[in-house]
Amino acid sequence: MKSILPIVKAELLSLHRDENGQDLVEYALVAALIGLGSVTGMKTLSNYISNAFTTVGSALVSSV
């Protein structure tokens, strides 16, 4: 059993130093930030569009 411990320790240390999956996490974080920014921007944009339609609708009703 004692002969397995150095092998396991070496494997765990190599996994700790391995950075193969790091790019995927970074891309996921960037995608999440872009999604959050898009949702926030769409909420603001929807308020402006709603106000524009309300203004146009009121102008049409008052002119008839």
- Domain borders along the chain are 21-63
Torsion angle of the four alpha carbons 53, 54, 58, 59, in this order, in degrees rounded to the nearest 10: -40
pTM: 0.48
pLDDT in tens, 2-14: 577 778 778 777 7
| SS3 of residue 21 by DSSP | coil
Tens-digit pLDDT profile for residues 23-49: 788 899 999 999 999 999 998 899 999
